[in-house]
Amino acid sequence: MLLLRLQNRVAEFHTELERLPAKDIQTNVYIKHPVSLEQYLMEGSYNKVFLAKGNIPAESYTFFIDILLDTIRDEIAGCIEKAYEKILFTEATRILFFNTPKKMTDYAKKRGWVLGLNNYYSFASQQQKPEDTTIPSTELAKQVIEYARQLEMIV
């Protein structure tokens, strides 16, 4: 089940979950752990996913959990790049759940982040400028009107 979740095969994960008896879901630690992880991911409680690494039911889970944590970090880092013009090194370390500055530095190098003045990572060049995004309002209005006509014909 954990592998299904890691591969982002959410529908298959839930299908397998529905096939299991409720008692097993609640009492079997090998099932309960992936179900808890799924719940944390759906809530957006990434900190709980990182904390769950210390609460794995078997050593073999470590490999899969590490993959999941790396994926979460990559998603968070992508959001940081889009949401911030710059971020303080210590804040990036905290937000990305690194426990040492060395790990943060290595990760930043992997993503191509450069530490600038005053200990900040800057992302201004990576952000999309508002004037670059145009909304095709005329085309959108035409589509909405056509949709309304089709609905009217159905009714």
Q: Are residues 57 and 100 in the same domain?
A: no
Co-location of 9 and 58 in the same domain: yes
Q: CA 136 to CA 130: how far, in whole Å? A: 14
What's the whole-model pTM score?
Answer: 0.69
Burial class of 14 by CB neighbour count within 10 A (0 to 12, 13 to 18, 19+): middle
Which of 56, 83, 110 delimits the end of a domain? 83
pLDDT of residue 131: 58
pLDDT number for residue 90: 95
Assess whether 79 and 91 both reside in one domain. Answer: no
Same domain? For 155 and 99 the reply is: yes
Which residue type is seen at 111? R
The first and second tokens of residue 4, run together, are 């299904």
Provide the token pair at 139: 């085309």
| DSSP 8-state code for residue 122 | E
- Count of structural domains within the chain: 2
* Same domain, residue pair 25 and 67: yes
Helix (H) or strand (E) holding 89: helix 89-95
Q: Domain check: are 22 and 74 in the same one? A: yes
- Do residue 50 and residue 108 come from a single domain? no
Name the residue range of residue 128's domain: 84-155
pLDDT tens digits, the chain, 155 residues: what are they? Answer: 888 887 778 899 899 999 999 898 889 988 888 888 889 988 988 989 888 888 888 888 888 888 888 989 999 999 999 999 999 999 999 999 999 999 999 999 999 999 988 999 988 755 455 555 677 888 888 898 988 888 888 87
Q: What is the pLDDT of residue 55?
A: 85
